[in-house]
Structures are given as C-alpha cells and as structure tokens.
Structure 1
C-alpha cells in the first residue's frame, strides 16, 4: 500500500502563493515602466525642478514661479501657433520678425494715439494676421515649401520693423502702453492669464473639434485627407494665420513690458518656439504632437533658463547646457515612442 504525502497540499499552496507573488511583481514592474515611458518628459521636467530646488533656495519661491510664468507667456503664444503649423508638416520661421514688426507698429500707433490703447492692440494683431495670411497664401496656394516661404517673411518683416522706426527704437510711449503687460488681475499678470486661456482653449479645439481633427489629418497624410473631403489648402492657410496673430499679440506683450518698441525684438524666438514644440513630442513630419506637450516643453526651457540664471551660470554655458538638454529630451521622447510602439 502506497503511503500518502501529508505535506503535499502545503507545498502546493506555497508554490501557488509564490507564483502569484512573482506574477504580481512582474505586473507591477511592467506597469511602472510603462508609466515612466508614457510620461518620459514629465519625469525629465521633475528631475530638472528637483535639481534647481536643491541648488537654489530662491527657485521654489512664489515670486520666482511668477517670474517664470511671465517670461514664458510671449514664448507660449508663438509656440502654440508653431504647434499648429508643425502639426500640418510645415514650419514658421518668421514669428520672431513678426513679433518685432508688430511691436514697432503698435508702439508707433500708441505714441500717436496715447489715449487709445485698444488701437495699439488691434494694430499688433492685424500686422500679425497680415504676415500670417501672406505665409498661408504662399504655402497653400503657390505650393512654396514652408521653410522658404517663411524664411522670406522673416527677412521682409525684419526689414519693415526697421523701416517703421526709421532704424531706431520707438521710445517716449505713454505710461498706459505698459498697462497691457504689467496689470494684475486676481494676482496674475495679463500675459500669464492670456497664456493659460490660449493653452486651454487650443487644447480643447485640437482635441474636441472637427477643425483639430482636420489639422492632424492634413499633417498625417494630406492626399488621404483631401480624398476624405478635407480642404487642405484652407487648413494650411488657417494655421499660418493663427501663428501670425499669436506672434502679433506676443510682440505687443514684449513691447508693453518695457514700454518701448525695438526693431530687433523677438530675434531668435522662433528657435525657442520650435524647440518647445519638438521637446513636447511633436514630429516635424507632421501629424503628431499636442498643445499640452508644447506647454510642457516651453515650461522646461523657461525653467532651465531661470534656474541657470539663479545659479549665475555664464550665458555661453547656458547655451551649451540647453542644447544638450534639448537633444537629450528629444532622444528620450524618440526612445519612449519606440518602446510604446513595440
């Protein structure tokens, strides 16, 4: 007669428990890795913030946070416009010069009409609208590559900015001109409020509306979008117009902040705007990206600028560090996308 193994049920229960623990551990590890991959840029942002909090006591103050947001606002507007353009597979190199031209035009109008601030606001936006419309027509109707079309506008707008001021800045503006950028509402400066409104508003438009879907469709595959009934030329025209208007508003912000118009205002801003969009996960080929990603990329750049200033890092080393971080951030995003795809 065969003997019975009284310990067998105990061993089986222990084995099952060990297997369940191992599976739970594997699932937990996979979930954490997936979470980190899906939010790679947020992790990078948190690491940068943690570093500056450790190195500078001033970095985490409310006043410094306000400084970062105020500095980010003009960049945010042009970065948002750049996002729409890049989503269609294009690029807008002219926004920096459009900022200068809009600022000079608004300053000239404000100087000649000191009691009509709204007229300066309208002027800045109309100048940006005109520049964006020209870009849109050249790209959408004449099929000129966006790089060439907007490069031409960059040169044209830069020259016109000097023409408006006769080669010199426009000073002696009324104090009311500074109200647009320096007035607080509920503890926030008007540019910061506008930045928040435009980020949230455009995020909803791109996520929830037919227009947003069509922008993505044109960037993903223009030919297929046209077959599906999307008027790709109208979409292309519209995104360049939006980019121009936002650049005009950004120019007014910058000029109002210093109560002066400068013909070189906004020089190089287009590069930071493009960097913010790319860092935020957008593809320069079009069809991939988001408003929230751009906002995160912008805040990463502005946080880095602010933190390096607080640490009194020389300007030339700041450029080196920012360049390395931009390449590293994009590399992390590409790696994360590859992992998500696999």
Structure 2
C-alpha cells in the first residue's frame, strides 16, 4: 500500500520529467473542425472584398487564401465554388493586363513571387493551361536562368523575402503550367535547382519550410527530405509553435506553414506528438473572429486600405497566417500517415 501511495505522489513529477512530445494528448477532431469552420467564412469574405480595393493580385490574400480554401473544399468543408471561381477570374484578369510583359519575359512588379503565387492560385482553382499560364510559366523559366535558384524581388518578410519561397513557387508553376515544348529544359533546370537546394544555407523558418516543399516538388530522395523535415522539427518551441526567426516567439504564420508542409510532403503524420503540439498552439492562438493575428515586420510600400480582414496594419500578414493555420488544421482534421522512410 505504501509503495502504491508513493507511486501516486511521484506520478506528476515523473510525467513532468518526460519529453513534452511524449506527454501531449491528441486533440479532439471536433475542436479542430470547429476552429476551421470559424476561419473559413472570414477567409472567403476577405477574398471577395479584396478586389474591391485593389486591382492587382494579392499573394497574401489570394495566393495563400485560394490554396487554403481549395484544400478545405477538397477535404469536405463548406466552401462556396463561386468564391474560388471569382478569385480565379480576378487572377486571370490581372495577368492578362500585363500579358505582353510576360510574353516579352519581363513580367509584373513582384517578379516570380507574384507570378508564382498567381499560378498557385490558378492551380488550386483547377484552371487548365492556356495562353496566359503558358506565358507566365515561360517568363518564370527564363527568370534568373544563370542561377541555380530563383531570386525574390521583394523584401517583405516573411512571405516575400526568401529565395526558397520563390524557388518553390517557380518549380510548382513549371510542373503545373510549363509548355510541352520546354519540357526538357524545365526538367534540367529543376534538377539543377534540386542539387542547389540540398546544399543551400538557411537563415529562418520560411527558408526551411519552402526548402522542404521545393525539395519535395523537385523529387529529392527520402533521405534528403527526412533530414530537411527533421531540422524543422528541431526548431519547435516549448509552447508547441515555431517562430519566424531564431530569436522570436512562436507565431501562427510560422507554425501554420510548418505544419502544412510537413503534412503535405508526408514527412510527419498529423497524429504524431510534435504535430499535435503545433495544432494545440494554433487552437490557443485563434482569435474569437476566427482569424490569427501576426504583427507585421515589413515596411509598407502602398497606401493603407482595409481589405476586409481584421488587425489593421497587420492585416496582410495576418491573412496569410490565417491561411496557413487553417490549412494545417484542415490537414489535422483529416489524418494523414507519415510517408515510409
């Protein structure tokens, strides 16, 4: 009896001594679905509202937002088809406005970031190849041709400042919309980029996330993908989240993008403890209105306007963060298995 009492008294201490990854309980799917259903209406309404204030394509609203809504719809969540179609048409209209620039391989302001996110939005909406997508993909193929990667033409961290983000977007775009006549050139360039990706130096979470995603798109080996994912998992903080920078606190943008890519590449099961800890962080940081708030660290370059998303001057990064966070929750509510190593 005395031994049993001693064990009971010692149990909390023993549990506390265990690594957090071994103590976390799996989050109830109902809680995850509830969080997704609170977020989706806001993402849809903001997607609809944004074009009323800006004619140009938006990476943070329409790029990430379109990807998230299409993913949610594919997993059975209620997303109006009209929301997706409206965004597809707005994206195509924006590209057509400068179609001659793309045909002349000059592109639009925003470079590969803008072009790549635009094609990601179109791909998410199921848009087939046409003269517009072929012109944009041909521009991407010719851009930074002397290098092994694609440069970012912006400096608006985290989402528009990393060469790894642009490199992923470029590879994804070329695979989805590259011209058949350029197939051999595309294959060679992606292979050259894959070799660079495996040796490239990383500075922050955005780099790590999009390095992994780009490696996956480029056909890297299981061993290479596993190492990339393991390096990301090592950066998880005690609260379950990830930070944009090594010296920063965890935030929904970094955490949502990490979890989304770990799940989509098959490098982590959504049932694993590390993933569940990240999901708990997202659930705890979701706002009452369904959004996630992230403080911007980019310098504004255009006049301020309300886009229909909360958080004032932080609305653009918060919209992107809410997209990635929602994507991660969508994937967690429809469990995936880890890819065999």
The question of a shared fold, defined as TM-score above 0.5 by the shorter chain, is answered with no
Q: Which has the higher helix share?
A: 1
Q: TM-score, normalising length from structure 2?
A: 0.26
Tell me: higher relative CO, structure 1 or 2? Use CA pairs within 8 A at least 6 residues apart.
Answer: 1
